[in-house]
Structure 1
Amino acid sequence: MEEKELKAYEVLEQLNIPYKKYTHPPVATIAAIEELDEKMEVMHFKNLFLRNSKGDKHYLVLVDSTKKANTKLIAREIGSTRLSFASDERLEKHLGLQPGAVSPMGLIYDKNKEVEVLIDKDLTFQEKVTLHPNVNTASVTITYGDLLRFLDWCGNKRQFVEIP
C-alpha cells in the first residue's frame, strides 16, 4: 500500500470517520469505475482540478458524476477569470496526486491551503459518497456529512456552486 493511501486512512481514523474500503484495478474515470464488477453502495462524484487564467488560483471541483461541468459557468458563478484544467505538475505540487487519483483526500497535502473547494450543491442530497484515498486502485465510501467534516479539518476555503 502506498504511503499516500495509508495517510488517507490515518486521517479518517484520526477524525473517527467510518469508511468502507473497496480495492480494484486502476481506474482514471467515472466510466471506468462504473464498469467494475464491484458493487459499490453509492455514487462516485467527479473531482476536477482547475486553475484560473493567471494560474494563481486553484480549485478542486466536486461535481455529481452524471453532470458535465461547464467551466465557463463555474467561472462566472465564482467571479473568476477563465478556468481550465490544471497541469499534472500543478496537481502534484498542490495536492500531491497523480492524474486519475484526484480526490478531496489530496487536500491533506495542501499545507498552505491554496486550493479552494467548490462543491456541487446537488451533492448535498447524497447520503454517502465514494472517493479515492489518494490512489486510483482503491475507493472509500463515507457519509456526505463526514466528507464535510473532513473538509472542515483540512481548512481550505470552500463554497457551494450551482452546476446545471
Structure 2
Amino acid sequence: MNAFSPDQSSLPFSSDELLEVLRGWGLEYDLYSHCPLKTVEDAKMIEPTTFRDGKAVLRIKNLYLRDKKKRNYLVTLEQDRVIDLKDFGAKLKVGNLSFGSPGRLLEFLGVRPGAVTPLAMINGSRHGVRFFMDDALLLADWIYMHPLVNDRTIAMKRADVLTFFERINAKPEWI
C-alpha cells in the first residue's frame, strides 16, 4: 500500500474523514491535490512561496521516532531545521532515538511513510504518542501539511491548527 489518496480506505482514519472532521469543527483549510510528495525536497519542487497573502507560511517536516522502551514520538519541525537524534534523545532523557518502522507508524499514527503529519495526532493522541513541535509554528500565519496522505496538502491558519490539537487532546511540547 502507498500513502496516496486511493489507498486511504486502508487507514484507521481516512484523509476524507479527517477533512470532514475539520469542516464539522468549523476549521478552515485550503486543499491542494498534487503528485505524491515523500520528502521535503519533493515538496520544495511544487509548493508555493513562503508567503501567502503577505503572511508567513510554515512548511514542515515530521519524524516518527521510538526509544528503546518502545515509546513513540512525533516531532514536527520547520522543513529546513536540522535535528541530532542523539542530542534530542539526551535532552528528553529518553536515551537513543531511532526511526519507527512502517508497521508501528501505521499502528500508532495511522499513516504510511511519506505522509507523516501533525494531523496524525488524531490517531496518536489515543495511543500515547508524545508530540513535539517546533516553536517556529507560533510565528507562522499558515501551516502547510499533509492530511494523512501524501498526494494532498492543506493550508491552515495557525489558530485553526492549534484548535485542532485542543479538540483531539494533543498537547504539543514546544522545542
Q: TM-score, normalised by structure 2?
A: 0.83
**2:17 corresponding residue in structure 1:** 7
**1:31 corresponding residue in structure 2:** 41
**2:159 corresponding residue in structure 1:** 145
Q: Is the 8 A contact 2:58 2:137 kept in 1?
A: no
After superposing the two structures, state which structure 1 stretch, 139-148 or 40-49, moved more: 40-49
Identity %: 28
What is the distance in 2 between the residues matched to 1:157 and 1:101? Answer: 21
Q: CA RMSD in A?
A: 1.7
Aligned residues: 159
CA shift in 2, pair 1:111/1:126, >3 Å: closer
**1:95 corresponding residue in structure 2:** 109
Specify the code of the residue in structure 1 equivalent to 2:48.
K
Specify the code of the residue in structure 2 equivalent to 1:39.
P
**2:134 corresponding residue in structure 1:** 120
Q: Is the 8 A contact 1:113 1:157 kept in 2?
A: no
What is the distance in 2 between the residues matched to 1:14 and 1:74? Answer: 37
**2:68 corresponding residue in structure 1:** 53
SS at match of 1:18: coil
Specify the code of the residue in structure 1 equivalent to 2:59.
H
Specify the code of the residue in structure 2 equivalent to 1:34.
K
Specify the code of the residue in structure 2 equivalent to 1:73.
D
